[in-house]
Amino acid sequence: MTDIYQNKHATIEERVADLLSRMTIEEKIGQLTQLPASVEGNTEKLEEWHIGSYLHCTGDTAIRLQERAAKTRLGIPLIFGIDAIHGHCFDNDATVFPTQLAASSSWDRELIRDMAKVTAKEVRATGIHWTFSPVLCVGRDARWGRINETYGEDAWLIGEMAVEAIKGYQGERFSSPDSILACAKHYVAYGETVGGRDAYEADVSRRKLKALFLPPFKKAVQEAHVASLMAGYHANDGVPCTADKWLLTDVAKTDWGLDGFIVTDWENVTSLYTKQKVSASIEEACYRALVSGNDMMMSTVEFYETAVRLVKDGRVDEAVVNDAVIRILTKKFALGLFDDMRFYCPDRHEVLGIPAHRDLALQASLKSIVMLKNDGILPLTPSKDLRVLVTGPNADDVIAQLGDWSFGSMQAGATDDQFHRDKTVTTLQAFQAAAKHYGFQVEYVKGADCLDEEFEQVAELDRALENADVVIACVGDTLAQNGEFHDRANLDLTGKQQALLERIKAAGVPLIVNLVASKPMTIPWIAEHANALLCGFNSGTQGGEAIKRVVFGEYNPSGKLTISFPYHVGQLPVFYNKYEGWHAQHSQHTEFKERYIDMPEQPLFCFGEGLSFSQFEYRDIALKQRVIEPHSDIELSLTVTNQSDIDGTDIVQVYFNDHFSSVTTPIKTLCGFQRVAIAAKESVEVTMTVKFSDLALVNAELEEVVEAGAFSLMVGASSKDEDLHTLDFEVTQTTTVSS
Ligand code: BGC
């Protein structure tokens, strides 16, 4: 007779309970242990330590390990995690999408979901079932190396996008071939670390955690039922995330009802002892990690043996371990790993990088492009006598274009002609193909390098400039300048890039800048002197093709920034949802504004900003009710007209402000948006709903409350005051939304 846990007709609860009752303490702790398969010696530990999970498996490693796991006493399958962050990018056949920061500029919920669906299919087809994505960190300091991994600076928008991504990854049923577990990370406030220093201490109070950083995670748990959370590296207000019982157990599991599991980040448990020094020994660190609510420990090699001892010595109650094991096994059963899905691995050529997936990558790249300046030069007419000079370090650099998390541990040795090269269309390649198609001339001189101070092809450049009608300069940063361990103190263009741009300007040839970068850079010179500026950040394999389409008007750009561009690094952090009360320039002048004495207070480019070839006009903006009763959502309507003779898409944004409140609140907070496609000369009626609960603040008692009184709703094309129309309304009663 088959054991209950092996009977696929029994419920998951019955199967888990049966299996748990058969497990030794060693087997249980093994389920809580996750090791990187890429580090020598770790895969050998599979049987001895009853390992439950590996990360970073490439090639057929996952399948080979799974075969070994099937032969163990209880045959418990492994679960494999991977950083499929913007596609299953460690696999050279996979589809590489724009990074989160780039894709967020699309403000397109459906797109974010579809990208995740494709990623799930490709990941699952390689025998892996879990991605460490999406990143829900609030990206407010561009110096931080990992800013490219975020959905930008607004917590509400991050939550909206996270819900889509998680639903896309997880699908309807975990046991289907297009479903994987998602992991919302890094729980919580990781992006807020001081000075943009990765994994540094975050100086964040509980009130601020509740007001700003926890809400996207709460949405991920409650609206998208995310299967896992990853505890951040850092400490908030002195408490490392991995040692924070309040955060892990009380908030995520008890208050929100997380039914998935919590994995630590890399060596978090070891760090409690070796780096953060809140535990005086590895035993103490393991003890603290277990009792705080971490379920799976990533890459802490000491964990297995130490934890077994802690339970055997009676220091850790076995019930704590059981709870974690149940959470992990429940997901393994749900994924079908005990049944048919353990070795699921169809012919990879039927799934990875197939044309439909590549088409979606192109859509994603197109929708991610933000046009930040256009003096009328765009779109260009591709006439036969046009002479285009393509230049800049990122015109033909696959590694710079794709950005971080495309090469994994091979990052250091990755070369431009090796990885994803035949899947990727760089800007140069796209222009060369267009030149053939339309019959114009294209020349390429690299002209500068992101890293090399010496490199400059001055003579070739000058000669090419003499023969050019227009220049497409692809500048920005490269992989060595972003990602984990790559924080920057300076956000100017590096190498000879600025000199290259100035030389083009001096030659008097019209200049179109294509910013291929992982982050906002300090580019006031470009904003002032370029004729046009396009930004696609790290725009995926089809990024070059997308830029070409925008330049020639084959696609009308619609992207809008989800992150502010500072004028100067000294402005950081700078974001749209700031607070009033900065000590203004005190003077007798009537016009006294908050500002630095040596620089504007506003960023160079603001959150929500982005141009189109169309012009849109907003009118008849109306609220259905101006007096809002508790728990009634706010209904809003408006008409948007496309006044141009070209079809376009606008992203209508809605912000609110609470006039007077018991604690300080931001001057404006995003609470709604809608992508609206409008044909040339047509109008579209738009209706939108703002949720009552989204008006809540967190008061000094840490309650989420919508306070009675006057509010404004601001509707428009960006977060800039001049783009917004304001309507006032009133909330009748102070209402607790959640405690
Ligand atoms: C990163 C995580 C990642 C993990 C596994 C860590 O260094 O902080 O975001 O998921 O490694 O690769």
Give the distance (Å) from ligand 1 centre to CA of residue 521.
25
pLDDT of residue 454: 79
| Main-chain phi, psi angles of 21, to 5 degrees | -70, -20
pLDDT of residue 612: 98
Does residue 265 have its Cβ closer than 6 Å to ligand 1? yes
Give the distance (Å) from ligand 1 centre to CA of residue 83.
7
Mutate to test the pocket of ligand 1, among 80, 131, 132, 405 (most ligand atoms within 8 A of CB): 132
pLDDT of residue 461: 96
Q: Whose CA is nearest to atom 10 of ligand 1?
A: 132
pLDDT of residue 592: 55
Does residue 266 have its Cβ closer than 6 Å to ligand 1? yes
pLDDT of residue 91: 92
Whether residue 723 contacts residue 717, with contact meaning beta carbons closer than 8 Å, is answered with yes
Q: Whose CA is nearest to atom 6 of ligand 1?
A: 266
Q: Is the pLDDT of residue 486 over 60?
A: yes
Q: Is the pLDDT of residue 585 over 60?
A: no
pLDDT of residue 457: 87
Mean pLDDT, the chain, rounded, equals 96
Q: Is the pLDDT of residue 581 over 90?
A: no
Half-sphere exposure of 61 (CA within 13 A, CB side): 20
Does residue 38 have its Cβ closer than 6 Å to ligand 1? no
Q: Whose CA is nearest to atom 12 of ligand 1?
A: 83
pLDDT of residue 498: 97
pLDDT of residue 415: 81
Burial of 73 (0-12, 13-18, 19+ CB in 10 A): exposed
Does residue 83 have its Cβ closer than 6 Å to ligand 1? yes
Instruction: State mean pLDDT over 590-607.
Output: 82
- Banded model confidence at residue 586, pLDDT cuts 50, 70, 90: low
Give me the percent of the chain exceeding a pLDDT of 70: 98
Give the distance (Å) from ligand 1 centre to CA of residue 75.
28
Nearest ligand 1 atom, CA 56: 12
Give the distance (Å) from ligand 1 centre to CA of residue 56.
10
Mind listing the pLDDT tens digit for each residue in 519-563?
999 999 999 999 999 999 999 999 999 999 999 999 999 999 999
Instruction: State mean pLDDT over 104-133.
Output: 98
Rounded distance between C-alpha atoms, residue 667 and residue 607, angstroms: 14
Q: Is the pLDDT of residue 587 over 70?
A: no
pLDDT of residue 595: 77
Whether residue 614 contacts residue 644, with contact meaning beta carbons closer than 8 Å, is answered with yes
Q: Which of 720, 502, 690, 510 is nearest to 611 (CA)?
A: 720
Which H or E element spans position 669? strand 669-678
Give the distance (Å) from ligand 1 centre to CA of residue 405.
10
Cβ-Cβ contacts under 8 Å for 340 (sequence gap 6 or more): none
Q: Whose CA is nearest to atom 11 of ligand 1?
A: 266
Rounded distance between C-alpha atoms, residue 603 and residue 176, angstroms: 46
Half-sphere exposure of 298 (CA within 13 A, CB side): 23
Q: Which of 140, 151, 80 is nearest to 116 (CA)?
A: 151
DSSP 212: I
Mind listing the pLDDT tens digit for each residue in 48-67?
999 999 999 988 999 999 99
* Token code pair at residue 375: 């003096």
Rounded distance between C-alpha atoms, residue 339 and residue 551, angstroms: 51
pLDDT of residue 300: 97
Q: Whose CA is nearest to atom 2 of ligand 1?
A: 265
Does residue 484 have its Cβ closer than 6 Å to ligand 1? yes
Which H or E element spans position 309? helix 303-312
Give the distance (Å) from ligand 1 centre to CA of residue 267.
10
pLDDT of residue 231: 98
Mind listing the pLDDT tens digit for each residue in 219-278?
999 999 999 999 999 999 999 999 999 999 999 999 999 999 999 999 999 999 999 999
Report CA torsion sign: 425, 430, 436, 441: negative
Which H or E element spans position 714? strand 709-716
Does residue 408 have its Cβ closer than 6 Å to ligand 1? no
Nearest ligand 1 atom, CA 233: 8
Give the distance (Å) from ligand 1 centre to CA of residue 302.
19
SS3 139: coil
Give the distance (Å) from ligand 1 centre to CA of residue 228.
14
* Token code pair at residue 2: 């088959």
Mind listing the pLDDT tens digit for each residue in 409-433?
666 677 888 889 989 999 999 999 9
* Token code pair at residue 467: 């023969």
Mutate to test the pocket of ligand 1, among 83, 100, 135 (most ligand atoms within 8 A of CB): 83
Mind listing the pLDDT tens digit for each residue in 621-636?
999 999 999 999 999 9
What is the torsion angle, in degrees rounded to the nearest 10, for the CA atoms of residue 425, residue 429, residue 432 and residue 434?
10
Q: Is the pLDDT of residue 453 over 70?
A: yes
Residue 93, number of CB atoms within 10 A of its CB: 17
Identify the residue whose tokens are 């729980």.
187
**Strand 228-231 to 79-82 pairing:** unpaired
Mind listing the pLDDT tens digit for each residue in 668-695?
999 999 999 999 999 999 999 999 999 9
| Cα Rg of the chain, angstroms | 26
Does residue 198 have its Cβ closer than 6 Å to ligand 1? no
Q: Whose CA is nearest to atom 7 of ligand 1?
A: 266
pLDDT of residue 142: 97
Whether residue 192 contacts residue 136, with contact meaning beta carbons closer than 8 Å, is answered with no
Mind listing the pLDDT tens digit for each residue in 182-210?
999 999 999 998 899 999 999 999 999 99
Does residue 132 have its Cβ closer than 6 Å to ligand 1? yes
Give the distance (Å) from ligand 1 centre to CA of residue 444.
38
Give the distance (Å) from ligand 1 centre to CA of residue 658.
38
Cβ-Cβ contacts under 8 Å for 654 (sequence gap 6 or more): 636, 670, 671, 672, 673, 688, 690, 713, 714, 715
Does residue 618 have its Cβ closer than 6 Å to ligand 1? no
Give the distance (Å) from ligand 1 centre to CA of residue 119.
18
